[in-house]
């Protein structure tokens, strides 16, 4: 992993500090270029991370009911072979998002496990 330093405005700094632990994921999500309705799920996740959640809260994160219903519909259409090309692209983007969320939750669980104040056992 590479460490980077950047200069940001005084107005932006407090917002970035709140999500400091999760900033690499936020940047990755922002650069992924989601173009389908899955972008709304990304916006929900970035909004959640921008509030500076604890590792435990991140590990317990779930997408909204709206997003779950849409994903169930896409999966059902996929299973019956009725997905349009656009819906297939949306399903692919949701799969990418799910992978990033899984990695984020693994990171959060590692942070929690190593810190008793965050609900872990410590070393």
**pLDDT, tens digit, for every residue of 42-92?**
999 999 999 999 999 999 999 999 999 999 999 999 999 999 999 999 999
Confidence of residue 116 (pLDDT cuts 50, 70, 90): low
Judged against a pLDDT cut of 80, whether residue 121 lies above it is answered with no
- Number of DSSP helices (H) and strands (E) in the chain, helices first: 6, 0
- 10 inside domain: no
Provide the CA 71 distance to its chain's centre, in angstroms.
Answer: 16
85 is a domain residue = yes
Among 96, 122, 116, CA closest to 25 = 96
3-state secondary structure of 17: helix
H or E stretch covering 42? helix 38-49
In a domain, 108, yes or no: yes
CB-side neighbour CA atoms (13 Å) of 85: 0
Max mean pLDDT among 24-28, 51-55, 111-115 falls in: 51-55
> What pLDDT is stored for residue 123 in this prediction?
44
Domain count, the chain: 1
Task: Examine residue 11 and state whether it is found in any structural domain, yes or no.
Answer: no
Range of the domain at 108: 56-114
């Amino acid at each position: 992993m590479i460490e980077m330093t950047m200069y940001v405005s005084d107005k932006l700094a407090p917002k970035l500090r709140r999500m400091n632990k999760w900033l690499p994921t936020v940047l990755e999500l922002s650069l992924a270029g989601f173009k389908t309705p899955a972008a709304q799920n990304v916006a929900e996740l970035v909004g959640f991370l921008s509030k500076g959640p604890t590792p435990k809260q991140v590990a317990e994160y779930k997408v909204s009911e709206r997003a779950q219903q849409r994903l169930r519909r896409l999966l059902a259409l996929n299973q019956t072979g009725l997905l349009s090309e656009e819906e297939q692209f949306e399903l692919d983007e949701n799969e990418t998002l799910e992978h990033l969320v899984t990695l984020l939750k693994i990171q959060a669980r590692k942070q929690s496990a190593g810190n008793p104040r965050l609900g872990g056992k410590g070393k």
